[in-house]
Amino acid sequence: MKAVILVGGEATRLLPLTCNTPKVMVPVINIPFLEHVIHYLSQHQIKDIILAQRHLSQSIKSYFGNGSRFEVELTCTIEDIPLGTAGAVKNAEQYLDDTFLVLNGDIYTDLDIAAMIDFHLKRKAKATIALTPVDDPTSYGLIETNAQGRVTRFLEKPQWSEVTTNMINAGTYVLEPEALNRIPPQANFSFEHELFPLLLDQGEPVYAYTSSAYWIDIGTPEKYFQLHRDLFSGNSARHSCPIGDEVLVGEQSYIHPTVHIRGPAVIGSNCIIGHKVKLTGPVVIGSGGTIQEDSVIEESIIWRNAQLGQRVSLKNSIVADNCRLNDNTTIEDSILGDSVTVVSGCKLEPGSKIWSGTTVEVP
Ligand code: GDD
Ligand code: MG
């Protein structure tokens, strides 16, 4: 079976963390998010994958190529105009001649795909939508179902007053190719506002596959952080990542013998961790990072090429690519976008969100 991943465009960012990296390429435990998704599909024997992109992303192309390094076959489709979620899949119609899968590109889940496909085929559904429970359905697509598990109503981003259930669209669909006939070619058309309500109006069999499997949409930095916490605490069963006190160190990295590490921690390649640095997990340090003496890092995620000076204190924070935290800086509960510089001695207000894209001098 083939799968279409809705990758979105260059504009699909994880703001304010990065303006330079497409959302699907943000590192999760030092691996691009999309690689986790591809690995997940591959584990479920789905090896023929279409990446529906708004624009050709050079970073995706150069990292994934044709997919052979990941033992899958990747095809990319590109859009001349923003086609929306369903329009993007219509744009890939030439590759889709049998029952297929669609995934939002920003979802990390343990959903049992084989069981969902089986459910879809047994009911002879035109479309089956995975459902997951959430605390706040207002940021998602709310889905009402009847006793037979058929979808009766689809309400994208409801007001609180409209909330009738905590079940939402989990962003994974099994579809029959005939569903594509309802999508106009080369026009902006969404599953959420258009195709699903249309199929329901026409009385087509649209089913809900409800699951309590691990699920998260990494659409905000807070959710992105939560995914790390969940992976490190073993809440998602499917990916091997250090838990407990484990420490993983990449190639060519040097860790001074006086460094104190309490896991879980993942240190990328080509890092230098200096004299008496203290790391208290969960901690992730991307490749090319340098942490100078007496710095303390607790429960934080650091992307590539970070330069941390001496006696830096970093706690419960995310630091995107190419940041420089100079000597004696204190950063807590904060999000630092790409290429942020924090000048020596500066103590950031807890909860700071420093925008990426330019070098910001924080006074
Ligand atoms: N190729 C392409 N072209 N991809 C697109 C386009 C487009 O025009 N528009 C959106 N996408 C991709 C996004 O990159 C993302 O991977 C996915 O489609 C969903 O878009 P989001 O922008 O992340 O939507 P959302 O999170 O607000 O809501 C969607 O996901 C929720 C679950 O996380 C909806 O499907 C909700 O109904 C759902 O509950
Ligand atoms: Mg999303």
Q: Is the minimum distance from the CB of 141 to ligand 1 under 6 angstroms?
A: yes
Q: Is the minimum distance from the CB of 156 to ligand 1 under 6 angstroms?
A: yes
Rounded Cα distance between 104 and 119, Å, is 20
Is residue 229 a contact partner of residue 283, using CB atoms and an 8 Å limit?
no
Q: Is the minimum distance from the CB of 12 to ligand 1 under 6 angstroms?
A: yes
Instruction: Look at residue 357 in the predicted model and tell me its pLDDT.
Output: 62
Instruction: State the distance from the centre of ligand 1 to the C-alpha of 217, rounded, in angstroms.
Output: 10
Q: Do 262 and 226 share a domain, yes or no?
A: no
Q: Do 74 and 208 share a domain, yes or no?
A: yes
Q: Is the minimum distance from the CB of 106 to ligand 1 under 6 angstroms?
A: yes
The DSSP annotation for 273-328 comes to: E-TT-EEESSEEE-TT-EE-TT-EEES-EE-TT-EE-TT-EEES-EE-TT-EE-TT
Instruction: Look at residue 239 in the predicted model and tell me its pLDDT.
Output: 61
Q: Do 228 and 325 share a domain, yes or no?
A: no
Adjacent-strand bridge partners of 1: none
Adjacent-strand bridge partners of 87: none
Q: Do 320 and 218 share a domain, yes or no?
A: no
Instruction: State the distance from the centre of ligand 2 to the C-alpha of 355, rounded, in angstroms.
Output: 20
Domain boundary among 233, 258, 279: 233
Instruction: Look at residue 57 in the predicted model and tell me its pLDDT.
Output: 84
H or E segment and range at residue 226? helix 221-232
Domain count of the chain? 2
Instruction: Look at residue 350 in the predicted model and tell me its pLDDT.
Output: 94
User: What is the domain extent for residue 121?
Assistant: 2-233
Q: Is the minimum distance from the CB of 171 to ligand 1 under 6 angstroms?
A: yes
Instruction: Look at residue 362 in the predicted model and tell me its pLDDT.
Output: 57
Instruction: Look at residue 169 in the predicted model and tell me its pLDDT.
Output: 98
Instruction: State the distance from the centre of ligand 1 to the C-alpha of 140, rounded, in angstroms.
Output: 10
Is residue 342 a contact partner of residue 3, using CB atoms and an 8 Å limit?
no
- The CATH number assigned to the domain holding 306 equals 2.160.10.10
Query: Does a cis peptide bond (omega within 30 degrees of 0) precede residue 282?
Result: yes
Domain boundary among 187, 202, 233: 233
Whole-number Cα distances in Å, 171 to 5, 42, 104: 10, 18, 5
Q: Which atom of ligand 1 sits closest to the CA of residue 91? A: 1
Instruction: Look at residue 91 in the predicted model and tell me its pLDDT.
Output: 97
Domain boundary among 207, 233, 259: 233
Reported as a single tens digit per residue, the pLDDT across 15-64 is: 777 777 888 999 999 999 999 999 999 999 999 999 999 988 888 999 99
Q: Is residue 348 domain-resident?
A: yes
Instruction: Return averaged pLDDT per consecutive 10 residues of the chain, 363 residues in all.
Output: 88 72 91 95 96 90 95 95 95 97 96 97 97 96 96 96 97 97 95 96 97 93 92 78 83 97 95 98 97 98 98 97 95 94 92 77 59
Instruction: Look at residue 10 in the predicted model and tell me its pLDDT.
Output: 57
Could you tell me the strand order of the sheet in which 313-315 lies?
260-262, 278-280, 296-298, 313-315, 330-332
Whole-number Cα distances in Å, 58 to 10, 65, 92, 234, 320: 10, 10, 20, 33, 19
Spatial CA neighbour of 27 closest among 233, 331, 172, 241: 241
Strands 167-175 and 100-104, sheet pairing: antiparallel
pTM, two decimals, is: 0.94
Whole-number Cα distances in Å, 26 to 49, 241, 338: 20, 17, 11
Spatial CA neighbour of 6 closest among 205, 139, 189: 189
Instruction: Look at residue 9 in the predicted model and tell me its pLDDT.
Output: 67
Region of 171 please: left (phi>0), alpha (psi -120 to 50) or beta.
left
Catalytic residue among 157, 223, 278, 315: 157
Q: Is residue 238 domain-resident?
A: no
Reported as a single tens digit per residue, the pLDDT across 170-227 is: 999 999 999 999 999 999 999 999 999 999 999 999 999 999 999 999 988 899 999 9
Q: Do 191 and 339 share a domain, yes or no?
A: no
Rounded Cα distance between 301 and 30, Å, is 9
- The CATH number assigned to the domain holding 122 equals 3.90.550.10
Q: Which atom of ligand 1 sits closest to the CA of residue 54? A: 1
157: annotated active-site residue? yes
Q: Do 53 and 195 share a domain, yes or no?
A: yes
Instruction: Look at residue 11 in the predicted model and tell me its pLDDT.
Output: 58
The SS3 assignment for 255 reads: strand
**Residue in 85, 108, 188, 190 to alter for ligand 1 test, most ligand atoms within 8 A of Cβ:** 85
Instruction: Look at residue 180 in the predicted model and tell me its pLDDT.
Output: 97
Q: Do 253 and 146 share a domain, yes or no?
A: no
Placement of tokens 């640095």 in the chain: 277
Q: Is the minimum distance from the CB of 84 to ligand 1 under 6 angstroms?
A: yes
